[in-house]
């Protein structure tokens, strides 16, 4: 049965306010707190035309920098690396799973995800953006049994699906590759663990994980820190109640990935999700590690190592334009203090992963400004004359 999260460690004091609220706003907008998951897309045709113009930008190499995490003793740092080095790591036979954490509105990040997916060749695609109860519908679409419009309507696609995720799904369809609908069905998110346990055996087996493991202290600290910033004024009891749905998302995605890895026909998986679900090897990697040790005969493996034996994480993080420019002019390793500063004071230790890709937030701001201009209604000549 599903278990309640244990009493988490509560950090002392609220996190310091961010220095640059504009950047943080865009980050929080892109965070994986189900901001988009309850919405329908709008203006899809206009947005898609805008995206086509973005794709004509032939070179995005000036819009991102790649780092690799190096750990030594108690210290760790990010050292400069290249996209080629990262892809070499992803393509190793021992790397069966790549989890890429994104900010959902990051224009450069989505370009990088497409580059990675297409470079992997025959990898299975797994997406947070589709819920597990939509898997049959997705399969029918991939097998040409239903039209794309029916799949989109039935799957309740995200507002930015056409611009950011449709190219991935279309690539999979055109090459006969599987797509895993990995997230928790939305109708279950508001349920507590005892209620979920009363669901039918079929619902729990097909759509949910066998258990939701309790939050670790590090996970709790990070979650509480972010919620205090986003939901300032909420008491601790309310914040902690919000943590179970987040754990359920992580556990559902983690379990679906473990199930897929069990299939010998799945040589490699690329899973794309919001950065909160995987940053600092928390969330999905934590839940997967426990699934692997308890259910897949990895009980003798040290905590954290079961996941790392087969999986790698890559975090895509938008930062200020001047930060990208400074790093490109002066390539250098980033120590814990510098990395932590990029989180604008949020508790949780900074944006750590096996690979970290910093993207230029200016590209996202420019793209959103272009979309706003495109969607803004234009006054006709008659309208103009009538106002004067």
pLDDT value at residue 388 = 31
Q: Which of 300-314, 315-329, 344-358, 372-386 has the highest mean pLDDT?
A: 315-329
pLDDT value at residue 123 = 97
pLDDT value at residue 6 = 37
Q: What DSSP letter does each residue of 208-250 carry, written as one string?
A: S-S--PPPPHHHHHHHHHHHHHHTTT--HHHHHHHHHHHHHHH
> What DSSP character marks residue 161?
I
> Which tens digits make up the pLDDT trace of 45-77?
444 434 443 443 336 788 999 999 998 656 789
Q: How far is 110 from 185, CA to CA, in rounded Å?
A: 24
Do the Cβ atoms of 15 and 223 come closer than 8 Å? no
Half-sphere exposure of 71 (CA within 13 A, CB side): 7
Q: Which residue has the higher pLDDT, 297 or 358?
A: 358
The highest-level CATH class for domain 60-370 is alpha beta
pLDDT value at residue 225 = 83
Q: Out of 17-26, 120-129, 370-379, which region has the weakest mean confidence (pLDDT)?
A: 17-26
Q: Which residue has the higher pLDDT, 387 or 351?
A: 351
Task: Kindly state the average pLDDT of the residues 366-370.
Answer: 85
Which residues are CB-contacts of 1 (< 8 A; sequence separation ≥ 6)? 193, 197, 211
Is residue 302's pLDDT more than 50?
A: yes
> Which tens digits make up the pLDDT trace of 246-255?
999 999 999 9
Confidence of residue 301 (pLDDT cuts 50, 70, 90): confident
Q: How far is 15 from 85, CA to CA, in rounded Å?
A: 35
Confidence of residue 33 (pLDDT cuts 50, 70, 90): very low
Q: Which of 1-10, 36-45, 207-216, 361-370 has the highest mean pLDDT?
A: 207-216
Q: Out of 93-107, 225-239, 315-329, 336-350, which region has the weakest mean confidence (pLDDT)?
A: 336-350
Q: Out of 132-141, 332-341, 374-383, which region has the weakest mean confidence (pLDDT)?
A: 374-383
pLDDT value at residue 377 = 67
* Beta-bridge partners for 78: 69, 334
Do the Cβ atoms of 291 and 310 come closer than 8 Å? no
Kindly state the percentage of the chain with pLDDT values over 70. 77
pLDDT value at residue 106 = 94
Task: Look up the pTM and report it.
Answer: 0.82
Do the Cβ atoms of 352 and 339 come closer than 8 Å? yes
pLDDT value at residue 152 = 97
Is residue 165's pLDDT more than 60?
A: yes
Among 312, 317, 310, CA closest to 364: 317
pLDDT value at residue 161 = 96
Is residue 17's pLDDT more than 50?
A: no
pLDDT value at residue 191 = 86
pLDDT value at residue 378 = 59
Task: Kindly state the average pLDDT of the residues 302-312.
Answer: 88
Among 181, 223, 212, CA closest to 288: 212
**Helical spans, DSSP H, in the chain:** 21-30, 44-55, 83-90, 107-120, 135-142, 148-155, 166-174, 193-196, 201-207, 217-230, 236-261, 284-295, 305-308, 321-329, 336-341, 361-375, 381-386
Task: Kindly state the average pLDDT of the residues 223-246.
Answer: 82
Among 283, 6, 274, 259, CA closest to 124: 259
Confidence of residue 263 (pLDDT cuts 50, 70, 90): confident
């Amino acid at each position: 049965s599903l278990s309640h999260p244990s009493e988490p460690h509560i950090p002392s004091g609220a996190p310091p306010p961010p220095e640059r609220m504009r950047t943080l706003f865009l980050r929080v907008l892109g965070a994986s707190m189900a901001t988009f998951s309850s919405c329908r897309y709008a203006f899809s045709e206009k947005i898609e035309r805008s995206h086509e113009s973005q794709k004509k930008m032939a070179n995005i190499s000036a819009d991102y920098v790649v780092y690799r995490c190096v750990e030594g003793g108690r210290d760790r740092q990010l050292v400069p690396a290249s996209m080629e080095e990262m892809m070499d790591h992803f393509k190793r036979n021992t790397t069966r799973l790549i989890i890429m954490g994104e900010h959902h509105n990051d224009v450069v990040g989505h370009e990088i995800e497409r580059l990675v997916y297409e470079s992997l060749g025959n990898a299975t695609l797994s997406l947070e953006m589709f819920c597990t109860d939509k898997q049959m519908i997705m399969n029918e679409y991939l097998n040409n049994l239903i039209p794309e419009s029916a799949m989109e309507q039935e799957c309740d696609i995200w507002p930015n699906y056409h611009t950011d995720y449709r190219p991935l799904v279309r690539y999979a369809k055109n090459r006969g590759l599987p797509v895993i609908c990995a997230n928790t069905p939305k109708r279950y998110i508001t349920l507590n663990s005892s209620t979920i346990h009363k669901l039918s055996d079929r619902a729990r087996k097909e759509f949910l994980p066998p258990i939701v493991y309790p939050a670790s202290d590090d996970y709790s600290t990070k979650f509480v820190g972010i919620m205090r910033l986003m939901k300032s004024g909420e008491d601790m009891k309310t914040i902690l109640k919000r943590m179970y749905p987040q754990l359920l998302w992580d556990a559902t995605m983690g379990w679906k990935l473990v199930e897929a890895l069990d299939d010998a026909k799945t040589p490699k998986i690329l899973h794309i999700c919001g950065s909160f679900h995987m940053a600092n090897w928390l969330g999905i990697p934590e839940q997967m590690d426990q699934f692997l040790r308890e259910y897949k005969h990895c009980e003798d493996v040290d905590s954290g190592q079961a996941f790392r034996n087969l999986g790698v994480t890559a975090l895509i993080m938008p930062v200020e334009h001047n930060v990208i420019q400074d790093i490109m002019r002066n390539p250098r390793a980033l120590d814990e203090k510098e990395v932590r500063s990029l989180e604008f004071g949020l508790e949780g230790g900074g944006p750590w992963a096996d690979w970290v890709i910093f993207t230029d937030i200016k590209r996202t701001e420019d793209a959103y400004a272009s979309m706003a201009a495109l969607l803004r209604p234009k006054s006709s000549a008659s309208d103009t004359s009538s106002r004067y």
